[in-house]
Structure 1
Amino acid sequence: MQKKASLKSIADKVGVSTTLVSYVLNNKMENRISKEVAQNIRDTAKELNYNSNQIARSLKTNKTFTIGLIVADISNPFSSALARIIEDEADKAGYTVIYGSSDENPQKSQKLIDTFLNKQVDGLIIAPCHGSEAQIIELENRNFPFVLVDRYFPEITTNYVALNNFQASYMAVNHLIDHGHKRIGMITLNSPLHHMKERKRGYMEALLEHDRTFVPDHLIELSQDFSSADIEGAFYQLLGLKEPIDAIYLTTNQLGMFGLKYINSNKIKVPEELAVISFDETEFLDLFSTPVTQLRQPLKEMGTAATEILIAAIADNNKLTQLNMQPLLVIRGSSTMTGLPKKVLETEMPPAVVINPLQLNGQKVKVA
């Protein structure tokens, strides 16, 4: 039987100390160790079939080095992309991520929280659903490390990383107005969640600041579980008005996908008959005949920040960190009546609105 590899056997073969081997295999002090030595240690560990004793490690540190992640729906491109970023960032710090979908259901959210706590995860990253406020307050009362991501409850003081959703909608509508569109419609979700309310507020504020009258018939709010028939009905209403809309703002990636399908199947000319802006960057937008203007969320920065904040909280850091990050408005042919500029332009946006900030780069609005 092959003798079980140990830190000492790896250290002896590489010619370094067991402490250094431990640092490398536990992803610590990477910046103070040469990449060549670190890679040699990992290769030797693999060659010797070394497996760390997670149970012993947990007993020694009183940690499981696992993080629980709760997203709204892992099949949604936004959620899956964010989960992958968090998984990669956590791995750099020696943590494993386990995750589940709440499906916007508070009962399922509670079940996931209970399951993760029973598995003794060291902390949680949560995209909270409506009705989960009591769950968040309970975690806060238990002083359990967690971070909210994408959504948060303004009335609950806790760590979060989110988008400045008001600014996103304001930018979208302001852009459409600047390009000569007179009747701007919006299809959104009828949700009490703060981020969706902020998207609606940004739409209305942009109209107000340009002395445009808000027309209630131009705003349609669908239920969370909307169908393609609901989208068809919304477009039928907006385009069937005595003065039909000449631009549409779709406030989620799912609304964008269904909306563009309707536009395509009904052969509506974009942007000549209808200008379009959709929320989030998805591969589906690239398949549309006219390049689609989109509001892009800084997913990499959001996932990285949420992970860093949580790991700091696990280390008993009681600092409150709240990040409202800026969106990117990527302007393409679907929203401009005069065509695209020949040259790619970049306009500096204000940095993220931050309380107790991490070191994050300011975001930009890109015209591409």
Structure 2
Amino acid sequence: MNTLKKYEELRRKLIEYIKENNLKRDDQLPTVREIMRDMGYSYTTVNRTLNEMEKDGIITKRQGKGIFVNRINGNRENLQIALILPRDFHQYKILMGILFGVKEIVEKSDIGLIISISNMSHEKEKESISNLLQNHVDGLVIFLEDQYRRDYSHIIELKEKRVPFVLVDRYIPELETDYVVVNNEEGMFKVCAYLKYNRLCEDILFVYPDTVFLEITSTAEKIKGYKKAMETFYGDNSGTVISLDEFINRLDALGEKKAPIGVCFNHDEMLLELDDILLKEGKHLPDNLQIFGYANSFERPIYPTVEQFNEQLGKKAVEILMKRIKNPDLPVEHIKISPKLILPDKNGSYYLEK
């Protein structure tokens, strides 16, 4: 038997050993000496096999302590992946869209799917990932919670242990990982171009939620696209980036300008919050403000908005994950999906730009 066949045979036997003994993550495996003695392989074959299994993230070797299970495809005929979401998907159109995209691919491929909700809790997100790996999930699609830029050590750990995963909607600029996101810089630039040339706005503001973390890449890239547009169209290298609360405080002053002023909102749901606040305070939007939302969050738009193609995010994420599971050594993939504007027609309906 040649060396390659010996290596493949031993790898198969070790995986069978893990499954038959129902070993989980951090359970200890036999030593190199015990494997050589009990399975009848040379040191060279055992060492090479263990090194390759460690590279693939199946085992981990701890200096002076031994060999331990890291992850292993479970005792299932089919693959199983997990989708981690930051909120209950029933309440958010973006999450529903991503879920539908994921489900379309996994159902066609006969892949098992687990859905985990972090409830915007950093600790819950870490705990969920740990539990899923303990249960031998084969890969993860992760929509990170809002404060992820402050601590992503658990994502670094996934990468170091070669666990297959893909980030969706938001990513970590400081860490090379697979991700599928919306090209929000392009999207916001297009919004500003429309407000400048179609609504003839003399100025444009960008408004973000009072509670948002501006480090979130989806928000940061919208601001980047907005500032790029302001410099391109108005020669203004900074623009006006303000919170919703500050925007409401400026309404009277903005209305006094009379000239059209564009207002880009970070996402559509802010518009409902804005309406509630204005109703309580007895205020209204000045007629000269040209409002533009983002993310097409409602069944029927109430203002011009941006279609993100969330189902495509989910589909692409699973497609990349499947490739990563089959071949952990593939180069990382960065996918940015181009959004399109949803605009009003002469009859008051809305249409998707071509």
With normalisation by structure 1, the TM-score equals: 0.65
Which residue type is aligned with residue 315 of structure 1? K
Task: Give 1:118 deviation, angstroms.
Answer: 1.7
Q: Select the residue among 68, 75, 89 that pairs with 2:105.
A: 89
- Separation in 2 of the partners of 1:185 and 1:315? 46
Q: Which residue of 2 aligns with 1:184?
A: 204
**Contact 2:182–2:339 (CA under 8 A) maintained in structure 1:** yes
Contact preservation (8 Å) 1:109, 1:132: no
Shift of 1:171: 0.8
Matched, 1:117 2:133: yes
Q: CA deviation at 1:169?
A: 1.0
How many pairs align? 268
Uncovered stretches (5+) of structure 1, i.e. residues with no partner: 1-56, 222-230, 334-338, 345-364
Cα distance between partner residues in 2 of 1:263 and 1:277:
17
Tell me the equivalent position of 1:247: 262
The correspondence for 1:276, drawn from 283, 291, 295, is 291
Does the Cα contact within 8 Å between 1:187 and 1:234 map onto a contact in 2?
yes
* Alpha carbons of structure 1 residues 252 and 58: separation in structure 2 relative to 1, 3 Å: same
Amino acid at match of 1:219: V
Residue from 135, 145, 152 that aligns with 1:133: 152
User: How far apart are the structure 2 equivalents of 1:198 and 1:331?
Assistant: 22
CA contact (8 A) 1:164 1:327 kept: yes
Aligned to 1:313: 324
Aligned counterparts of 2:300 and 2:241: Cα–Cα separation in 1:
23
CA distance in 2, matches of 1:341, 1:283: 16
Quote the RMSD (CA, aligned, Å).
Answer: 2.9
Letter of the 1:182 partner, please give it.
E
Do the aligned residues in 1 keep the contact of 2:228 with 2:237 (CA within 8 Å)?
no
Q: Residue in 2 aligned with 1:52?
A: none
User: Partner of 2:228 in structure 1?
Assistant: 205
- In structure 2, relative to structure 1, the CA distance for the partners of 1:60 and 1:262 (3 Å cut) is closer
- By how many angstroms is 1:301 displaced? 1.8
Distance 1:192 1:69 in 2: 23
* Preserved CA contact (<8 Å) 2:74 2:137: no
Equivalent in 337, 341, 345 of residue 325 of structure 1: 337
Q: 2:311 aligns with which of 281, 284, 300?
A: 300
Instruction: Quickly say closer, same or farther: Cα 1:322–1:128, change in 2 above 3 A.
Output: same
In structure 1, C-alpha distance between the alignment counterparts of 2:297 and 2:76, rounded to whole Å = 44
**C-alpha displacement at 1:88, in angstroms?**
2.5
Q: Which amino acid aligns with 1:273?
A: N
Q: Is the CA contact 1:251–1:278 (under 8 Å) kept in the aligned structure 2?
A: yes
Contact map agreement 2:99 2:311 (CA 8 A) in 1: no
Alignment of 1:1-368 (within 5 A): 59=75, 65-74=79-88, 75-129=91-145, 130=148, 131-179=150-198, 180-188=200-208, 189-213=212-236, 218-221=240-243, 231=244, 234-241=247-254, 243=257, 246-261=261-276, 266-268=283-285, 272-283=287-298, 285-286=300-301, 288=302, 292-319=303-330, 320-332=332-344, 366=353
Q: Secondary structure at the match of 2:353?
A: strand
- Judge conservation of contact 2:168–2:179 (CA < 8 Å) in 1: yes
Aligned partners of 1:343 and 1:235: how far apart in 2? 26
| Cα distance change, pair 93–317 in 1 and its aligned pair in 2 (3 A) | farther
Change (3 A) 1:152 1:310: same
Assess if the C-alpha contact under 8 Å between 1:68 and 1:121 holds in 2: yes
Alignment CA distance shift 1:261-1:60 (3 Å): closer
Gaps of at least 5 residues in structure 2 are 1-72
Alpha-carbon distance between aligned partners in 2 of 1:321 and 1:203, rounded to the nearest angstrom? 26
Q: TM-score, normalised by structure 2?
A: 0.67
Kindly indicate whether structure 1 or structure 2 has the higher relative contact order, using CA contacts under 8 Å at least 6 residues apart: 2
Contact residue 187 and residue 255 of structure 1 kept, 8 A: no
Rg larger in 1 or in 2?
A: 2
